Amino acid sequence: MELGEDPSREGLLDTPKRVEKALKFLTSGYAADVDATLNNALFSVDYNEMVIVRDIDFYSLCEHHLLPFFGKCHVAYIPQGRVLGLSKMPRLVDIFARRLQIQERLTNQIAQTICQKIDPLGVAVVMEATHLCMSMRGVEKQNSVAATSAMLGVFREDARTRMEFLELIKRPDMMSRGSVSSVPGLACVSD
């Protein structure tokens, strides 16, 4: 009524139910159990090179306007005796994205959780997102992208390791060439 619309109109009759169902799904991260999600996917392994899962699609809701923001998440870590199953990385991103969020907190939650669960030498998370609260209202800048990062451990302390990660997430062809240690200018913490 307040919007100038007729709530008894055919197209709107079931809208409250649909909105409720959509909001339950879009905020299902609150009910998710991180430990249950990572269940049986933590493995002991003798591997100390960078592990990267990049271009993870995510969708979240801005806690200020309840409008979507969405984009790509890139996650890396350097194991220290334990690795996380690769398919669990996107699931972890979804748990925290499916909450009322701000991008900065979302980025940190992903990085901190990986740190807590596998105690790696370092974790890096970069998120790039389009925020509808900026593009369809407010400043109305449709082509703006917000980027946030969380660099922990060796990714914060070692510029070469940080740069290797940043190069690998921006240059997709690097991932398909085989060993990245043979690429000039890139070095891992173990060098």
Q: Which residues are catalytic?
A: 62-65, 103, 131, 133
Q: With beta carbons less than 8 A apart as the criterion, state whether 60 and 98 touch.
A: yes
CA nearest neighbour of 38 among 81, 87, 76, 102: 87
DSSP-assigned beta bridge partners for residue 57: 72
Any residues with CB less than 8 A from the CB of 127 and at least 6 apart, and which? 58, 71, 72, 73, 74, 103, 106, 107, 147, 148, 149
Q: How far apart are CA 157 and CA 179, in angstroms?
A: 23
Instruction: For 63-104, give the secondary structure using H, E and C.
Output: CCCCCEEEEEEEEEEECCCEEECCCHHHHHHHHHHCCEECHH
